[in-house]
Structure 1
Amino acid sequence: MAERDEEPTAFSVVVNGQIELAEIQGSKSGYCKFLVTHGEDWQVLDGLEEGVTHLSKRAPGVDTSFVWNFPINVAYRSTNIFGWPQVVLSVYDVDNLGRDVILGYGSAHIPSAPGTYNLKIRLYKPLASSLLQHLTSWISRVQPEFVDPKFPTQTEGREVVRAQSSGHAIVTVNVMTRVSGHNLFACGVTRGL
């Protein structure tokens, strides 16, 4: 049995929840590709780090949201907080030719404290960087998009990206943490124990 004065050598983070919805003006349908990124010291214990929701059509009327309620469930173990997990969303629609059209990208860090959180993730889509690219995009009806889906979480190269706000997504997560050598998972209910 570990002594109380002994320093913990690792910790675990469990994230479960759901990608609830996205609100994007001017679109009638959409689906979401998501992934959870993390640093090199993080090891996946259980769950899936990426997935694709179903295509959701918005209800007739003034409601502009696509409802997915798609589950997220992943558990990590790490020895270093560097590279804390982030959820990355890429929201797409399908055009009349069956092509995927980007509606917006967004990312947010998973909260580091145990509890239940409603994350409002702002979505944006890249714009053509030159008049020629804009004209080519308009003629081909193919909008600019990132080659790497993890790009919204990276800092290098973002300062030169032109982007336009396109809406937001709501992600609900429950975060639990555990430090090695302790038997109790810390969560919003047991935090005061």
Structure 2
Amino acid sequence: MAMQPASAAASAAPPCAPGSEFELHFIGELEFGFDFPGVSEEGLFVDFAAEAGADWLPIARKEGFVGQTQTCYADAGGVYVFNHPVDFHFIADSVAGWPHLHLQVFKLDAAGRIETLCYGSVCLPSAPGHAELTCRTWRPLARSVMEEARAVTGVLGSDPGALSASRAEVLDAKTEARAKMATKTSGSIRVSLDTIFRNASKHQILTR
């Protein structure tokens, strides 16, 4: 199934009556992470945020659309099982700036140090129904071979997750901040979501 944006005529229509706004609801969980290189005995946890364009109004719960999972340790197969619930609810005036899920994975070592391991971003589903998403992550490369060796080995004082701009700006697909960075692939996070549309037909948003 795929969604087609409203026509230009529809975008020029006057504001809709209360209760007839286009609503979008994502309900699911961050299921598990896998294939993280260089991680063995350390625990992992994930910061997450739902980011959308200026025409999207988040109908947030008390804690908002930013959250953090519990710390997990790998099973025998190297899989980190989070099973952490997510719940994002938006009202939109335009389909421009469709919501993305931004992730930042942290590592907790035996000494209690916390370091950024990697980042990831994935577009949330654009059709109603159930979806299984895989968010592939990456991390910035250090400026020199020596700094990269410190980052990989976890030398105290290294900062392998340093970004040149804010996380939201770097993970936004429309900015050039990520294109200017040298990065290295990391592990993946599996996300399970159910997507619900409300009043889509009233706004000429077609699904098939």
Q: What TM-score results when the alignment is normalised by the length of structure 2?
A: 0.75
Q: Which residue of 1 aligns with 2:141?
A: 127
Q: Is the 8 A contact 1:25 1:64 kept in 2?
A: no
Q: Distance in 1 between matches of 2:140 and 2:201?
A: 46
Match of 1:78 among 89, 92, 116: 92
Q: Distance in 2 between matches of 1:50 and 1:107?
A: 14
| Alignment of structure 1 residues 9-158 onto 2, 5 Å | 9=16, 10-23=21-34, 24-27=36-39, 28=41, 29-47=43-61, 48-59=64-75, 61=76, 63-131=77-145, 133-134=147-148, 140-146=157-163, 148-150=166-168, 151-154=170-173, 155-158=175-178
Q: Is the 8 A contact 1:127 1:164 kept in 2?
A: yes
Q: Distance in 2 between matches of 1:170 and 1:144?
A: 21
Q: What's the secondary structure of 2:54's corresponding residue?
A: coil
Letter in 2 for 1:85: P
User: Structure 1 residues 83, 90: closer, same or farther in 2, change over 3 A?
Assistant: same
Deviations 1:44-82 (A, max 9, x none): 1243311010000112x3x11111100001210011111
Q: Distance in 1 between matches of 2:177 and 2:201?
A: 41
The number of aligned residues is 178
Q: Which residue of 1 aligns with 2:190?
A: 170
User: Structure 1 residues 122, 181: closer, same or farther in 2, change over 3 A?
Assistant: closer
Larger strand fraction of residues = 1
User: Structure 1 residues 140, 118: closer, same or farther in 2, change over 3 A?
Assistant: same
Q: What TM-score results when the alignment is normalised by the length of structure 1?
A: 0.80
Q: Distance in 2 between matches of 1:97 and 1:143?
A: 17
Q: What's the secondary structure of 2:179's corresponding residue?
A: helix
Letter in 1 for 2:38: G
User: Structure 1 residues 148, 96: closer, same or farther in 2, change over 3 A?
Assistant: farther
Q: Is the 8 A contact 1:119 1:172 kept in 2?
A: yes
Q: Distance in 2 between matches of 1:106 and 1:99?
A: 22
Q: Is the 8 A contact 2:147 2:158 kept in 1?
A: no
RMSD of aligned C-alpha atoms? 2.6
Unpaired runs of 5+ in structure 1? 1-5
Higher relative contact order (CA 8 A, sep 6+): 2
Q: Which residue of 2 aligns with 1:3?
A: none
